[in-house]
Amino acid sequence: MKRKDLFWPAFVGLLTIMFVIMLVLFGLSFKVFTQNTIEITEQNKRLKGLEKEYLHTRRVNNEIESLASDTVFEYLPSCNKFIVRALKGKEIFVCNSSELKEAYLKEMIVAGHSLEAYINRVNKADWRASFLLIVEGHLGSWCDNNIPRNSDQAYHLSYQRALGIFRLWEKAGIVFKKQNVEILISGRAFGGQCRTIHGKDNYFVIQLLSKRVGDRL
């Protein structure tokens, strides 16, 4: 057989092999491209979800800060906490006791109703709004000087004070769990940020924090 007669079958075979290789490479490239496209699409969805969550949380946080303009509460930006204006620096508890003085019961109930009304307004504007409400009790440096510092007794008493305020609100018909609010009762004894302002003790503070979108109580 002549050489030129062998050329064409070999050439056709070579072209066939190259065509198969190209098909394989194309298939692999298409698979990688498809996977990357899916990953990019999923990543974009996650980023859009995070952006939506961030904007919602920022809006709710702005709403929380607007509580500072409330006539009942005073916002303490240095510790992101609120105090009741009428009770600022006052000995609202009987010294060395968790008993709330009768003279301050009305102001405390008014504060509870004001806080409840505020949360209701936010929830009405955005049903997804979800909060963590921290009720924090403290002891006073002078009033509670019979209590050893950093003792279990000090932490227990400050916790009982915060719990007593929460129970007072419940008796007054203030139930925050009607909304998307999780309650945390806390006792900080003689510690905690913003426990004292201008040398005067604050026996009760609250924190209202926005929870992550999607969290349900």
Q: What pLDDT does residue 157 have?
A: 94
Ranges of the chain whose pLDDT falls below 50: 1-2, 213-217
Whole-structure pTM value: 0.67
Q: What pLDDT does residue 58 have?
A: 61
What is the rounded distance in angstroms from the CA atom of residue 52 to the CA atom of residue 207?
Answer: 24
Tokens of 9: 């079958």
Residue 182: left (phi > 0), alpha (psi -120 to 50), or beta?
beta
Q: What pLDDT does residue 64 have?
A: 57
Tokens of 20: 């198969």
Q: What pLDDT does residue 216 have?
A: 38
Model confidence pLDDT, tens digit, residues 174-212: 887 666 788 899 999 998 887 877 778 888 898 888 775
